[in-house]
Structure 1
Amino acid sequence: MFHLISASGVRHGFLVALLAGAVSVCQASDSAAVAPEAASGLAASQLFQGQHFAVAAANPLATEAGYRILRAGGSAVDAAIAVQAVLTLVEPQSSGIGGGAFLLLSSEQGVQAYDGREVAPAGVDGSLFLDDQGEPLAFLDAAASGRSVGVPGLLRMLEQVHQQHGVLAWEQLFAPAIELAETGFAVSHRLHTLLDSDPRLRDDPLAARFYYDAEGHPHPVGYPLRNPALAEIFRQVAAGGSDAFYQGAIAEDLVSRVQQHPQGGGELNHADLLAYQPLIREPICTPWKKFNVCGFPPPSSGHLTVMQILGMLESLPVEVTMDDGLPAADWLHHYLEVSRLAFADRAQYIADPDFVEAPGGDWTLLLQPEYLAARAALVAPNSMGSGGAQAGNPAETTLWSYAPQPNQPEYGTSHISIVDAQGRALAMTSTIEAAFGARILTDGGTGLPGGYLLNNELTDFSFRPATDEGQLIANRVEPGKRPRSSMSPTLVFDAESGDWVASLGSPGGAAIIHYTARTLIALLDWQLAADQVLSLPHAVTLGGPVWLEASGFPVTTLEALNERGHDVSERELTSGTQVLIKTPEGITGAADPRREGRVMGE
């Protein structure tokens, strides 16, 4: 049951505190684990209302590009390509053609899952991120180097889905990004803030000349930033398809910058680029309440972990009581405890399914109601604490040979949700991993200023391939393998009619799982409006400490959770959730106030 929520009260106190400059009280090491990108302030979340189509993206210029394509009669896929091209330009810290994505699409052909995740080069092995003593490298030493770059998959995947579901011509979809790259766009407050705070991007000569002035200061807010190199790269891709990216001058420059990186060259080569293939996977659609929630299968851990959390909560006799318009400590305790159990299973089992078999041969065994009920029964009045949650055994007759992966930082991403005039719904989460990826800017061999950033996606693998006793870790580095992800593009349908209900997703590293789970609960169970949902403060654990969003909850909630044995502190939690939801009047939606997103449509 759900009792008494006052969303207006929630938003007022939370917004006032953050807009007044509330800051996190946690240490930087914790920030790496759960806040992949720095906070840049909070805007008021606005509720979009339309009737025919809508697009939600992380930057207003990208949203506008998708809106133009939809108005021209383009499909949701067409719009997503235009949006992503512009995001490569205006939100380079989060995603781009140098990275990868998961795309979930509902169309006349049903729900399809397109895997454009990066892969490890053929020349890597489990020692990739170990030093000479066999110890894991510091995260930034591993990430800001050529060794961290996986084979980009985004453009190959987008081309594949466009061939099946595109309406407008491929070259037409890059026109908005080319125009903006040539004429310039105003540097946003968020981009300026992240450029200013990044410790490694200035080390790259091309990036230093492009994003900073001669004294090393980032270009100010409002600075008209032109990117002629990216405009030329997009012209080549528009004319020649994804082949123009994976071979020729663009590929030559990519490989050279990876292999010759001064902080450690990577193994990626031309053969790796030519061998890359996107995959069409079977989505996992899970019953929950009166809905069918569809998400991405492994190598994403997102859907499985989200639905474990929701399924275990269903097995607990806990009512949602409120404290000043926010979930009270009792509900938060149960939510955090089932999250610990879900993250323990995630660390134990989930990796690239082409390399690691599901427990019992079926990933959905992790979502069976009987299994989740047994797991939920482990929740006690007091917290099991950091490290107290152990993985379960969903296939009781199967011996599992892998060791759980130790915690390590996970980073960036951007999310796009679109519904077109024909009712096709899309959710795509894309990434270059950390903010600004590997901190390698490539101009595609054009010799012009600017370009695009390469991913550091291989740091999503376990740095340690095995335990000290030699037990292998499922998500270890292997040639041709796709690193485990937390990206959770989600489409929701009415269980009875099959009609589309919602499209959502978020950036945020491993905390994506919490942002997605909380959004589903508040949107569909508590039945709050989308803007109210996205203004609620976050509560996060990855199995260890608990982080509550700074100034989001009353002190009494922190005290009550600490009394139950949780190690609680506050911090900025910079989600970037996009939500579209069907209503009797049409479509509503909202963009996360913690970033600079926008929803547009008609």
Structure 2
Amino acid sequence: MPAASLRRLAAWALSATVLGAALAASPAPASAHASGERAIVVAAHPLAVDAGVAVLQRGGSAMDAAVAVQAMLGLVEPQSSGIGGGAIIMAYAADSGETTVYIGREAAPAAAIPALLDDARGNPLPRAEAMLTGRATGVPGAVAAFAQAHRAHGKLAWNRLFDESIARAEAGFRITPRLARHIHGSFPQAAAPDVRAYFSDASGRPLRSGDLLRNPAYAATLRVLAEGGADAFYRGPLTPAIVARTRDAPMPGAMTADDLDRYRPERASPLCRPLRRHVLCVPPPPASGVGLLQLMALLEATDIDARGPDDPQAWFLFAEASRLMYADRDHYVGDPRFTAVPVAGLLAPDYVRARAGLIGARAAAAPPAPGRPEGAPHPAPDATDEPGGTSHFVVVDGDGNAVSVTTTVESFFGSGRMVGGFFLNNQLTDFAWDGEHGRAGMANAIAPGKRPRSSMTPALLLDADGRLAGALGSPGGSAIPAYVGKALVGLLHWGMPLPEAIALPNLVARGTRFDGEAGRFAPPVLAALRERGIDIRPGAGEDSGLHGVFLRDGRWEWGADPRREGTAAFPLR
């Protein structure tokens, strides 16, 4: 979006009420910092941070460093992301003030049909089975998106961005406690043959925290990718192996070399709206940025800014606004090339006020129905289930350019199928495919070449002059908009330091469910919420992995979610 437009949006934001005073802080996170340094890398693993810093120190841009971070995450955090998956990249260019989105969402192969994930009797497969089939893998988009973004924002040659990951794959890395929990997890992929083989020692013993793991196959793949670029992945030496692995039993997939050859990432304009004294920019559909913007607009229509983290009414408002947002998002958001997504209608001030007016004194037992914004189509009720296996990272370089990236293989270890030292995604299970409601009419139904709806919502914050003021995002499947929204409430409504906003308890209210970190809320808050019809239960799926930066008084304040193993580093001058 042009800088002039962003300045206008930011000016509107200035008319909002001033930030409320910081209230009681939550438990301190594992990592927090403020620095006058201009460049910073924040990611979910120290080795990924180091890889990004090394590229910045070689004179690379934020985007150069982002490519290096992703390459390393695919090695050290393979349960969450990798080159066999997809990514959504938000890029800020300091010289022009432009913010650009690069959408590398995976796509269904040309031979995909609505019954793609049905069994032989025409019944939808149980998710635990569907994730492990060859049919679950969409055409990967991460490599194409990073290559496209690098051409626009890179400074170093592409082949100089993989050195650290290649060396680490050959030398090996130590299994972290979080990766060890996934290796020994109870989810289906943990028992998949490729997963068990990769994460076992010579005697067949599953690896434990602290064990050394080498991946020479991944090093070889990265060498091919470094020298051949994205073409090596989509129409070169890596292509046949990817296709062949998806066509193995059980339930071979329909992906072809032509599907990979035809894949194109999308360069798009962000959705930007005023938020307090800032402008919040997020990716358009099929990502869920419109949901995050609507959630924040709904909360702006309440008095949440006058409250704080110890006030049960604040969490009640957050929960009820979240339910309204999810009702709309789940019903309307899909791939806009295949379904009309009423973005403008969902964010129209009159519509938002009307939806916010539905928040009463007590949560209704029945889930809220989707609204009817202007321009809305008539899709069938949604039937999508989105588990999370995702990561988020942020890079800012010394020139003020920034990258905010959410990246994924969908569920943990993707489909559990490995090729060339990396896991393939199971992203097609992010479509609505249970068949209950006439799936062809759902906004997120399966179709050839279609991208499934994504909950990923990497965000950038700009100031009144359209300059970078922060970046934020999280993994977490369908909970991502709630996780990011919670952090933004703490940061911008309650004036909390970013690390404390990230560490606030998670609450994900969607439909009839109120999932959250019940043990981290004070008992009086839980009791007051129950009186209002909200009984928080321990959440399903993975925890948040919020990572971000925020410019406060001219210094970068950063936060890495204490629920994971992330950190940050500043390149040496």
Q: What TM-score, normalized by structure 2, do the two folds share?
A: 0.92
RMSD of equivalent CA atoms = 1.9
CA offset digits 1:393-429 (Å, max 9, x no partner): 111xx56221120352332211111111010111011
C-alpha contact (below 8 Å) 1:94/1:434 kept by paired residues: yes
Residue among 523, 544, 553 paired with 2:512: 544
1:477 maps onto 2:454 in alignment:
no
**1:320/1:327 contact within 8 Å kept:** no
Give the whole-Å Cα distance in 2 for the aligned partners of 1:208 and 1:178.
Answer: 23
Residue in structure 1 matching 2:66, options 67, 80, 91: 80
- Give distance in 2, aligned partners of 1:245 and 1:281: 23
Of stretches 281-290 and 557-566 in structure 1, the one that deviates more from structure 2 is 557-566
Over residues 312-353 of structure 1, what are the superposed CA-to-partner deviations in whole Å (9 max), with x where a residue is unaligned?
Answer: 11112456434xxx3421111111111111111111110001
The 3 A distance-change label for structure 1 pair 386 and 96 is: farther
Written as runs of structure 1 = structure 2, the 5 A alignment for 1:100-499 is 100-107=86-93, 108-109=95-96, 110-201=98-189, 203-213=191-201, 217-260=205-248, 262-301=249-288, 303-318=289-304, 320-322=306-308, 326-359=309-342, 363-387=343-367, 389-395=368-374, 398=375, 400-443=377-420, 451-464=421-434, 467=437, 472-494=441-463, 496-499=464-467
Are the counterparts in 1 of residues 47 and 72 from structure 2 also a CA contact under 8 Å?
yes
Change over 3 Å in CA distance of 1:382–1:570 after alignment to 2 = same
Instruction: Quickly say closer, same or farther: Cα 1:595–1:319, change in 2 above 3 A.
Output: closer
Q: How many residues align?
A: 550
C-alpha deviation, 1:521, in angstroms: 1.4
1:390 aligned partner, one-letter code: A
Deviation by residue 1:81-130 (Cα, 9 ceiling, x = unmatched): 00000000000000000001000111034110001111000011111122
Q: Quote the Cα distance in structure 1 between the aligned partners of 2:224 and 2:203.
A: 34
The 8 Å contact of residues 82 and 173 in structure 1, kept in 2 or not, is answered as yes
Change (3 A) 1:481 1:465: farther
Q: Deviations over 1:176-211 (max 9, x none)?
A: 100100111111111111101144345544432221
Question: Quick one: distance in 1 between partners of 2:44 and 2:412?
Answer: 14
Unaligned runs of 5+ in 2: 1-18
Is 2:31–2:567's contact at 8 Å kept on the other side of the alignment? Answer: no
Match of 1:34 in 2: none
Give the alignment partner of residue 54 of structure 2, picking from 63, 68, 72: 68
Partner deviation per Cα, 1:512-570 (whole Å, 9 max, x = no partner): 11111111111122121122112211111122211231421122222222222224323
Distance 2:41 2:304 in 1: 36
Match of 1:5, as an amino acid? L
2:61 alignment partner AA:
S
Distance in 2 separating the partners of 1:156 and 1:273: 10
What TM-score do the two structures reach when normalised by structure 1?
0.88
Deviation at 1:142, TM superposition (A): 0.7
State the Cα distance separating 1:245 from its structure 2 match. 1.4
The one of 560, 569, 581 aligned to 2:537: 569
Contact 2:22 2:494 in 1 (8 A): no
For residue 53 of structure 1, report the CA deviation from its aligned partner.
Answer: 0.3
| CA distance, structure 2, for counterparts of residue 234 and residue 214 of structure 1 | 25
1:373 match: secondary structure: helix
**Pairwise CA distance, 1:216:** 5.3
Provide the rounded CA distance (Å) in 1 between the counterparts of 2:136 and 2:423. 13
Matched, 1:46 2:14: no
Moved more, 478-487 or 555-564: 555-564
Contact 1:125 1:477 in 2 (8 A): yes
1:409/1:156 CA distance change after superposition, 3 Å: closer
Q: Percent identity?
A: 38
Taking the aligned partners of 2:348 and 2:194, their CA distance within structure 1 comes to 51
What's the CA shift for 1:257? Answer: 1.1
Q: CA deviation at 1:214?
A: 6.1
CA contact 2:384–2:433 (8 Å) conserved in 1: no
More divergent stretch after superposition (497-506 vs 572-581): 572-581
Matching residue of 1:580:
549
CA distance in 2, matches of 1:331, 1:550: 15
What is the CA–CA distance in structure 2 between the aligned matches of 1:86 and 1:156, rounded to whole Å? 17
When residues 179 and 522 of structure 1 are mapped into structure 2, their CA distance, relative to the original with a 3 A threshold, is same
Q: Distance in 2 between matches of 1:527 and 1:435?
A: 34
Using a 3 Å threshold, how does the CA distance of structure 1 residues 264 and 430 change in structure 2: closer, same or farther? same
Offset at residue 49 of structure 1 (A): 2.4
Of the three residues 525, 528, 547, the one matched with 1:560 is 528
Residues 1:212 and 1:317: Cα distance change in structure 2 (over 3 Å): same
Question: Could you tell me which amino acid in structure 2 is paired with residue 549 of structure 1?
Answer: E
In 1, Cα distance between the equivalents of 2:395 and 2:425?
25
The separation in 1 between residues aligned to 2:378 and 2:206, in whole angstroms, is 49
Q: Is the 8 A contact 2:124 2:435 kept in 1?
A: no
CA distance in 2 between counterparts of 1:583 and 1:74 reads 25
Deviations for 1:195-243, whole angstroms, at most 9, x for unmatched residues? Answer: 0114434554443222124675421212111100000000011111111
| Separation (CA, whole Å) in 1 of partners of 2:142 and 2:443 | 24
Q: Indicate if the aligned counterparts of 1:104 and 1:427 stay in contact, CA closer than 8 A.
A: yes
- CA deviations on 1:493-528 (whole Å, 9 max, x unpaired) are 11x221211011000001111111111111122121
